[in-house]
A and B are shown apart, each in its own frame.
Chain A
């Protein structure tokens, strides 16, 4: 099922606030082999991925047909334990090439006070049934 091209420009509802716990950071750092004096740089994917899952559910897209095209994080400040993070995903572009949908998204990650922590850009590739 092709992804609806009229989604471009649409902002999806923010994810529910996600509390960054010591345990979650340790699990992420252990899984990626990091020493983790600091929250690992790619940790915000935990929040942006939730936004993506919400989006895929809303659009009835099967996760197993999704691969990641690119990803970028630009940080206003490092994420720290105790942050309450929310991601808001906006679709910035949809292209279709031979049955594959290429979706550009931007997610803003804000803390409990609404301040910007990180901006994440991602390209999501949806492989069609062909």
Chain B
């Protein structure tokens, strides 16, 4: 666990995302949208291929936050979904979560995150606020 002080740069975390992970996430989250499983349907609605659930990528961001903060209570978490994480049929896509402590005040730490896949930002303005101390 990292000591959270304003300006602290958090150690980037990398996660491999496979089609099997999306299948498990679909079952666990109750989101059966076929664009996360079926190449043909994904392409038919204009997507570049099977994409990860935005909420799966957000869950990975939350996982990094938990790792950095020693599983601190999350008070707020949010992001925009700006680019899809395309997951190949074989192998995996790598999601990288970086972060900086923006501020610590009144028992709350605000973390500014940067979530990328193959060097491209996939989440817009991802942010988490956790309870500290």
Q: Give the docked Cα–Cα distance between A71 and B115 (Å).
A: 15
Which of B71-79, B86-94, B98-106 touches A?
A: B71-79
**Nearest CB in chain B: distance from A126 CB, A:** 10
Q: Give the docked Cα–Cα distance between A21 and B84 (Å).
A: 31
Is the CB–CB distance between B25 and A32 below 8 Å?
A: yes
Instruction: List chain B residues, Cβ under 8 A from A1.
Output: none
* A residues 32-89 in Cβ contact with B at 8 Å: 32-35, 37-38, 40-42, 45-46, 49-50, 53, 63-75, 78
Interface of A is mostly: mixed
Pick from B30, B45, B62, B66: contact of A64, CB below 8 A.
B45
Pick from A27, A32, A49, A66: contact of B59, CB below 8 A.
A32
A27-B27, A30-B28, A49-B29 given; A71·B58 CB < 8 A: yes
Total A residues in contact with B, Cβ cutoff 8 Å: 36
Q: Give the docked Cα–Cα distance between A67 and B81 (Å).
A: 9
Instruction: List chain A residues, Cβ under 8 A from B47.
Output: 67
Report the interface size class on chain B.
Answer: 35 or more
Is the CB–CB distance between B62 and A41 below 8 Å?
A: yes
A-B contact pairs, 7 of them (CB 8 A): A28-B28, A34-B63, A41-B62, A41-B77, A68-B54, A71-B55, A127-B46
B interface, CB within 8 angstroms of A: 15, 21, 24-25, 27-35, 41, 44-47, 53-56, 58-60, 62-63, 65-66, 71, 73-81, 84, 124, 128
A interface, CB within 8 angstroms of B: 24, 27-28, 30-35, 37-38, 40-42, 45-46, 49-50, 53, 63-75, 78, 121, 123, 127
